[in-house]
Chains A and B, each alone.
Chain A
Amino acid sequence: MVTYLLKRLLLMIPTLLGVALLVFFMLRVLPGDIVEIKLSADGAVVSQQALEAERARLGLDKPLAAQLGDWLVGLTTGDLGRSMWTNRPVYDEIATRLPLTFQVALMATVIAVFVALPMGTLSALYRGSWLDYTLRIVTMAGLAVPSFWLGMLVIMMLLLWFDWLPPLGYKPFWEDPIANISLLIWPALVIGIRYSAVVARMMRSSIIEVMQEDYIRTARAKGLFERVVVARHAMRNAMLPTITVVGLEFAFLLGGLVVTEQVFNLNGIGRLFVQAAANNDFTLIQGIVMLIALIFVMINLLIDVLYALLDPRIRFQ
């Protein structure tokens, strides 16, 4: 078990290194000089000196190997360079916005898990009934509705029906819990709807699959109560693939937040990334990409731990 986890931990390194190399080379090998793209995107005619100055500022005038060395060493020390747009350290830009985004993601996960698990299970157990059909259509609608539009609908509804808008400006939870929650609950809800649709579908299909297993028939042949068959024998096995989906979707939440933060005017990582992309702020882009990769591998590690706890076949490997 311990060796298993240590091994998983070590396996994170090549993935992160791979992402780092990919990001590095993508921005340097692809046609076009990022500095030129960046500066000319601002509209002005760029002088050669300005280009050179900008290159020197970003360290792009050094040989490729040296740049790579700087980039990799910087990664291990948290030095991700400076934003090409604001000139502030990328690390600071990210760190100031991370708490907000993280809180929304956490709230969305709680909502998703509490909505999706019962929904998926019910749908599976009453497979083919009107309940199943209704729940399936609801989840499929949850997948189809774009989250930015859902966010707009929420704002519109609050405005037209309650003549109320979420407070402007973000306050940390410990400073002003009410303002904090009344601001963040809406994006969490919007993100959570799509999230729970994905998880509910997974839960449904894995329960259906597990219920056809031979060991469920064995459990019934023993004369166990149906609720025991479902809770002890089916749910635990069905949780395994569902946990993977919950984890991966959590790691991918930033995808949804990119647009949702925009709608709710939240100053989080997603919005930062949109700004970076719109401004061709490549240093910031690579910083955020590294952050996403880090979150992804951490979540995968967490999934592995949960798997090992739930599945003896892995625990006793």
Chain B
Amino acid sequence: MADISSPTTKVVDAPRRQRGQIMLFVTTQPMGSAGLIVIMIMMIAGIFAESVAPHDPVTMNYMAMLAPPTLEHPFGTDAYGRDVLSRIIYGARTALVIGLVSSFLGSSVGALIGVASAYFGGKTDMAIQRLIDILLSFPIIILAMVMVAILGRNLWLGIDINLVLAIAIPIIPKVARVTRSAALSIRELPYIDAARTAGFSHARIVLRHMLPNVMAPYLILLTAFIAQAILLEASLSFLGLGVTEPTPAWGLMLSGNNADFYREAPWLVLFPGLAISLAVFAFNLFGDSLRDFLDPKFKA
């Protein structure tokens, strides 16, 4: 159908005025916009948890142990009488901080390694790619668990830095692989040849001509791995290898003896899991739409 694909179909690849970009995203990607709204609500809840949450998430209340959902405790209380809704709201903060930081860390280091590996080529590239091959042969949760076992814990401002690292490290090889191939295909394009013909320095070619054009896959991966990181944090916390009590975290709320109340207190199982699912779903939805939006190949 070469006939009807006029040059204008290639516009997606280039920057446009930002407001127009956002409007275009909202109008063409309704599902992604829905995801974005959920993400924003979660962010607001996480940032302003102190004012949003009806109760303190850590204060125990032995008078109200395992209370079913009421107006006072919309999502009920846990075995220590702590308000489940408040713990979920504070848990959003934990999930988002760990998810955002580790995905940003992992994706950025990965992208840098990927682009550098593609640009330098040769033996450097070979060595990096073999290492990445090896790391890619493991499920990310296994890598993260090995990292947790090796690194131990290291609390800093209430965040377990080593947990963030343990989640970030398995992301690195995945992002590096994708950005490397993106950078490799860009390296073959005539405008890079033109820059080389003009005799520009390697630094200028990489920073000015290659990196900006790898931004699209980078952004897509970044959002996709926020979802993965949230899921990973929840799984690790569930296994007792992630966030520890008393910090409120979704995965933690489902772990240990909290799971023994299937019959007595199903709300303890229901709501934290819903929170995880909704958060991951929202980021996936947004990431998918972002890919459709930025990648012309998937355009209708």
Contacts and interface: CB of A to CB of B under 8 A. Distances in A.
B284 A146 contact: no
Contact of B139 (A32, A145, A156, A255): A255
A128 B31 CA distance: 13
B134 A15 contact: yes
A278 B146 contact: no
B88 interface: no
Given A258-B142, A289-B146, A141 B277 contact: yes
A140 B288 contact: yes
A258 B138 contact: no
B181 interface: no
Contacts of B234: 146
Given A152-B262, A293-B138, A128 B300 contact: yes
Dominant SS among interface residues on chain B: helix
A140 B241 contact: no
A289 B273 CA distance: 29
Contact of A277 (B130, B148, B278, B300): B148
B137 A297 contact: yes
A247 to B, nearest CB: 12
A32 B154 CA distance: 14
A310 interface: no
Q: Which of B137, B150, B234, B238 has the most CB of A within 10 A?
A: B137
Contacts of B137: 15, 19, 251, 292-293, 296-297
Interface in A140-199: 140-141, 143-146, 148-150, 152-153, 155-156, 159-160
A30 B150 contact: yes
B152 interface: yes
A259 B238 contact: yes
A15 B139 CA distance: 16
A292 B136 CA distance: 11
A211 B280 CA distance: 31
A45 B226 CA distance: 40
A18 B146 contact: no
A13 to B, nearest CB: 13
Contacts of B263: 159-160
A278 B241 CA distance: 7
B281 A296 contact: no
A143 B138 contact: no
Contacts of A251: 137
Interface string B263-290: 1001001101100111011001100100
Given A15-B137, A292-B137, A156 B266 contact: yes
B141 interface: yes
Contacts of A282: 149
A273 B234 CA distance: 17
A104 interface: no
Given A259-B239, A277-B241, A149 B273 contact: yes
Given A289-B138, A293-B137, A146 B277 contact: yes
A37 B239 contact: no
Q: Which of B130, B239, B266, B281 has the most CB of A within 10 A?
A: B239
Contacts of A278: 239-241
Contacts of A205: 298
B235 A27 contact: no
B231 interface: yes
Q: Which of A128, A152, A274 has the most CB of B within 10 A?
A: A152
A284 B154 CA distance: 24
A149 B278 CA distance: 13
B266 A277 contact: no
Nearest to B133: A15
B145 interface: yes
Contact of B134 (A19, A143, A262): A19
A83 to B, nearest CB: 14
A289 B142 contact: yes
B238 A148 contact: yes
A280 interface: yes
Contact of A152 (B231, B239, B269): B269
B268 to A, nearest CB: 10
Contact of A148 (B130, B149, B254, B281): B254
Contacts of B138: 289, 292-293, 296
Contact of A140 (B130, B149, B276, B285): B285
A156 B277 contact: no
Given A145-B277, A146-B280, 4 more contacts: A140-B284, A144-B231, A160-B262, A258-B141
Ranked 5 nearest A-B pairs via Cβ:
A255-B139, A149-B273, A144-B281, A144-B280, A296-B137
18 contacts: A15-B133, A15-B137, A32-B150, A140-B285, A146-B234, A146-B280, A150-B273, A156-B266, A160-B262, A255-B139, A255-B142, A258-B145, A259-B235, A259-B238, A274-B241, A292-B139, A296-B138, A297-B137
Interface of A: 14-15, 18-19, 22, 26-27, 30, 32, 37, 128, 137, 140-141, 143-146, 148-150, 152-153, 155-156, 159-160, 205, 251-252, 254-256, 258-259, 262-263, 273-274, 276-278, 280, 282, 285, 289, 292-293, 296-297
